[in-house]
Amino acid sequence: MQLPVSVLNGAGKETEMSLAGIGILTVGDLMEFVPARYDDMRLKNPSEAAHDEKVTIEGTIQTEPSVMYYGKKKSRLTFKMLSGPHVINVTFFNQPYLKKKAGIGDTVTVTGKWDRHRLALSGQVLEAGQYRREMDFEAVYLLRNAISLKLFRKLVLQAIDLYGSYIEETLPENILRKYRLMDRKEAIRALHFPESQEEMKQARRRFVYEEFFRFQLKMQALRKVIREQSGGVVQKYDLVKLKKLIDSLPFELTNAQKKAVNEICADMKSRYRMNRLLQGDVGSGKTAVATLALYASVTAGYQGALMVPTEILAEQHAKSLHDMLEPFGVHTALLTGTVKGKKRRLLLETLAAGEIDILIGTHALIQDDVLFHNLGLVITDEQHRFGVNQRRILRGKGKNPDVLFMTATPIPRTLAITVFGEMDVSIINEMPAGRKVIETYWAKEEMLGRVLDFTEKELRKGRQAYVICPLIEESEKLDFQNALDVHAQLSSYFHGKFTVGLMHGRLSGDEKEAVMKSFSANELNVLVSTTVVEVGVNVPNATVMIIYDAERFGLSQLHQLRGRVGRGSEQSYCMLIADPKSETGKERMTAMTETNDGFVLSEKDLELRGPGDFFGRKQSGLPEFKMADMVHDYRVLETAREDAQTFIDSPSFWTDEEYHLLRTILTESGVLSNEKLD
Ligand code: ADP
Ligand code: MG
């Protein structure tokens, strides 16, 4: 298979170069080159051919073929052909010589583009006599003009004839049997020369599985390496105490929370380092889960750290953790940029002495002089807000502490297990009972007056409102201008009745905090803001969320914004002001009004915008697959992942001769030498 393509007849120097240009160097490359599509070559009855489709039709010539010349070297050959009961007008452009091929009364087959309305066939190929078909389906390749389709097919056919018997099976025997997958020899042939639609499907099914399986094998091996080579701390937590804390909570944990706690605790107890992502919608109770995990760590004799992206959030978390854990004799402390001087010094001393059990804070936690006594568990909230470096520094403050990342951005499962394939993922996909659904409405711009009337009613009840300004992609300046405009408008609209605050990216950190604090204290009734307000602030008294130009936001982002309201006991509302022109735009607005489930929306977003757009172009980190499609083949991806995990975890995978070839995937990609770690 490593033979150069030049061993083939017809592949001279020039062809060899051309093929190299499209990445084909060896006979193996040639055989694995994936067709872009297949042309249906089956003989069609005119009555069943679709408009504009390429079809092959057989018939008898009814009128003498005649050629008309026009322009320079341009010609048109026409005749009428009888096919079944239909009389078809056939035209060939610029192939006058075809006239010699057939005459009136002859049977011919014509391949061309079908015009259903005019019963006309714009011919490309004319064959005399009855249809002698070789293949029902013909593979078409994207060759970028490197080489002709005809020659390419010839070479592929020759390669398979001469070297097909050397094709090695790459999937384990039991996998092939389990899913009834075509063996590799057969699948390669069927990929290029399928005898039926079914064969095409089966060949594709095999290669999709293979791609995912190989990819997941690497991911799962990496995961194993990260766990085992890092030698984490064994945290022997006190289950009885943990249960007491759970019993003391004012609510029953949801099943999803219980499952997440179990998964996290199992990791903590093991001798491997935890490397886990906890996903859950806003308000699904991640903080409660984090608190339990931190407490477990404390009962095992370790310290814990919780790092969040903003000061307000840190304060909120510190307070709720303190309230929950203080009765259990746990010492918590808050460290942010505003903790300074003597107070800070004292805090760091007690931390280093191990007298503080849990430290909550912003990135102030990762300053050099912050030293723990024995850090066992690190949790970061809204993990995408922190850079890889910041997370690593925090982790470095202990000896391989267990690490948990939390995010409220629901990532579709397919993407999560691909992009975060080397991490373990826990998902809280269930909301605590009794949560009020946020009523969501989609309003056109001309209805803004009514939206504001409604808002005023809520404000008069003492509630508060967020107004999110239009988002101008890649123009912070315009975002800023919009915020100023909207703020000015609403200030005059509510003048003398309600106060309107303003929040945008040009404010300094301190200024932002100040605005948020006065909104939080209900000194501001309305907060006009750009998307900076997105991260988990909690103002339970806010019941209205208005989003201008909502069609400019992704569904996940809209959902995040909506999650700012509905945090108290009152009914909350989200109003999307949008006038989308496209169908998908309308579909997205409708989806928002129909569901409050972040995971459903993120799947929808993925479906409507595709995987590339999901994370934004910059940091997609998505692998490329040749045949497989992460969105449409996601079930296969899941299955392949489970299978890969089973293999990686089984001792025989690492020793048996049968798996030698699979193991070379791992050695070749460098996964085993752990190059990807950090
Ligand atoms: P998240 O961090 O996922 O946004 P939180 O943990 O802050 O969610 O929980 C949001 C609110 O719901 C908090 O007031 C919390 O006390 C409450 N809560 C958490 N879990 C439950 C539950 N199982 N049942 C009822 N309320 C809960
Ligand atoms: Mg939270």
pLDDT of residue 390: 67
For atom 17 of ligand 1, the residue with the nearest CA is 285
pLDDT at 675: 46
3-state secondary structure 276-309: EEEEECCCCCHHHHHHHHHHHHHHCCCEEEEECC
Which sign, positive or negative, has the C-alpha torsion 279, 282, 285, 286?
positive
For residue 287, give the ligand 1 atom closest to its CA: 6
Is residue 156 helix, strand or coil? helix
Q: What is the mean pLDDT of the chain?
A: 87
State the ligand closest to the CA atom of 283.
1
pLDDT at 32: 94
Planar angle of CA 54, 59, 63, nearest 5 degrees:
110
Ligand nearest to the CA of 383: 2
CA angle 364/367/372 to nearest 5° reads 95
Pocket test for ligand 1, best of 247, 249, 251, 261 (most atoms within 8 A of CB): 251
Q: Which atom from ligand 1 is nearest to the alpha carbon of 253?
A: 23
For residue 368, what is the DSSP state?
T
More confident call, 254 vs 395: 254
Residues bordering ligand 2, an ion, CB closer than 5 Å: 287, 536
Going from the Cα of 531 to the center of ligand 2, the distance in angstroms, rounded, reads 18
**Residues above pLDDT 70, as percent of the chain:** 91
Ligand that comes closest to the CA of residue 250: 1
**Ligand nearest, relative to CA of residue 292:** 1
Ligand 1 pocket by Cβ (under 6 Å): 251-254, 257, 280, 282-288, 408, 432
Residue type, 520: S
Partners of 80 in beta bridges: 89
Q: Identify the DSSP state of 252.
A: P
Query: pLDDT, tens digit, for every residue of 260-305?
Result: 999 999 999 988 888 898 988 878 899 999 999 999 999 999 999 9
State the Rg of the chain over Cα: 33
> Residue 391 C-alpha to ligand 1 middle, in angstroms?
25
For the four alpha carbons of 601, 605, 611 and 615, in that order, the dihedral sign comes to negative
> What is the position in ligand 1's atom list of the atom closest to the CA of 257?
23
Q: Side-chain half-sphere of 366: how many Cα atoms within 13 Å? A: 20
pLDDT digits (tens, 9 = 90+) for 41-53: 887 788 888 888 8
Lowest mean pLDDT among 123-127, 234-238, 267-271, 477-481: 477-481
Query: Best of 287, 289, 537, 599 to mutate for ligand 1, by most ligand atoms within 8 A of CB?
Result: 287
Please provide the DSSP assignment of 310-333 as one string.
Answer: SHHHHHHHHHHHHHHHGGGT--EE
Q: Residues in the chain, how many?
A: 678
Q: Are strands 54-61 and 107-115 parallel, antiparallel or unpaired?
A: antiparallel
Q: Which residue CA neighbors atom 18 of ligand 1 most closely?
A: 285
Residues 338-391: pLDDT tens digits? 899 999 999 999 999 999 999 999 888 888 889 999 999 999 887 665 555 666
Tell how far the Cα of 564 is from the centroid of ligand 1, in angstroms.
14
Testing ligand 1's pocket by substitution, the residue of 277, 284, 382 carrying the most ligand atoms inside 8 A of its CB is 284
User: Which domains does the chain show, CATH number per domain?
Assistant: 1-36+140-167 (1.10.150), 42-128 (2.40.50.140), 239-428 (3.40.50.300), 439-595 (3.40.50.300)
3-state secondary structure 407-476: ECCCCCHHHHHHHCCCCEEEEECCCCCCCCCCEEEEECHHHHHHHHHHHHHHHHCCCEEEEECCCCCCCH
In this structure, what are the phi and psi dihedrals at residue 677, rounded to the nearest 5 degrees?
-65, 120
Per-residue tokens: 371: 């030293």
**H helix or E strand, kind and range, residue 55:** strand 54-61
Residue whose Cα lies nearest atom 15 of ligand 1: it is 285
Please state, in angstroms and rounded to a whole number, the distance separating the CA atoms of residues 371 and 358: 13
Report which ligand 1 atom has the smallest distance to the Cα of 291: 6
Q: In DSSP terms, which residues pair with 660 in a beta bridge? A: none
